Amino acid sequence: MIKEWFISEQFNPGIIGMFINPFYFARKGLYENISALASKITGDVLDIGCGQKPYQHLIRAEKYIGLELDTPQNRVNKKADIFYDGHRFPFEDNEFDSVVVNAVLEHVFNPKEFLAEINRVLKPGGALLATAPFVWDEHEQPYDYARYSSFGLKHLIESHGFTVVEQRKSIHDIRVIFQLLNAYTYKKTVTNNWYINLVTTMVLIAPVTLLGILLNYFLPGNSDLYLDNCVLAQKNGN
């Protein structure tokens, strides 16, 4: 129960998350934007790069399949239902009503092949919900290959048989600066000890989070500087 609660606070941080989640702003922004778009994701759903399936409960799916790259680490740490070779998805053409791709595109070195596979397994008129970072440090090295502007991501998606229905910029205000500062502090202080990391977050990172929340009430936003892209698209065709 404690582990499940802690994982929940990492992806859907509440008041407690302000004090224990070093990525509070990024995760809260993603959760809010995915929540706003999730109603369009229905039917048989494929979650590519599903990880812990942190947003599954937001989606009204008849069937929810998590797909992950087949590695020893992923088989131990991820909640995937199916693993694959990184090239062809192990599904039939037009098999799914919706596809979710959260924080995956930046780790894909072959985006044309990847999006072609998404298009192949998605039914005509099916929905694609994708997120990708814009302002963020390198992570999961060495498998971090790209950052996408809102224009670049829209072009990439629409070049592969989709129409973008809605785009959102997640966290486009002074909180970007405070999140980057917290990410820097976390990366420079993180250890293999969960308790030490928690104390470090509460002592060094939480005050920065609280200051960012306060200043955001008084300072203007900036739509050109933001943390994440959130895109809802539809596969072309009837």
Q: Looking at the DSSP assignment, which residues form a beta bridge with residue 231? A: 130, 167
Task: Compute how many other C-beta atoms are within 10 angstroms of the C-beta atom of residue 128.
Answer: 28
pLDDT at 4 over 80: no
pLDDT at res. 181: 98
- What angle, 0 to 180 degrees and rounded to 10, lies between the N-to-C axes of helices 24-37 and 2-11? 80
State pLDDT tens for residues 15-64: 999 999 999 999 999 999 999 999 999 999 999 999 999 999 999 999 99
- For residue 11 the two structure tokens come to 């992806």
**pLDDT for 9:** 86
pLDDT in tens, 136-177: 999 999 999 999 999 999 999 999 999 999 999 999 999 999
pLDDT of residue 2: 67
The widest CA-to-CA distance across the chain, in whole angstroms, is 55
Q: Helix, strand or coil for residue 95?
A: coil
Contact 89, 121 (CB under 8 A): yes
Arithmetic mean of pLDDT over the chain = 95
Where in the chain are the domains?
2-235
CATH number 3.40.50.150 given to 2-235 = yes
Burial class (CB in 10 A: 0-12, 13-18, 19+), 231: buried
pLDDT tens digits, one per residue of 99-124: 999 999 999 999 999 999 999 999 99
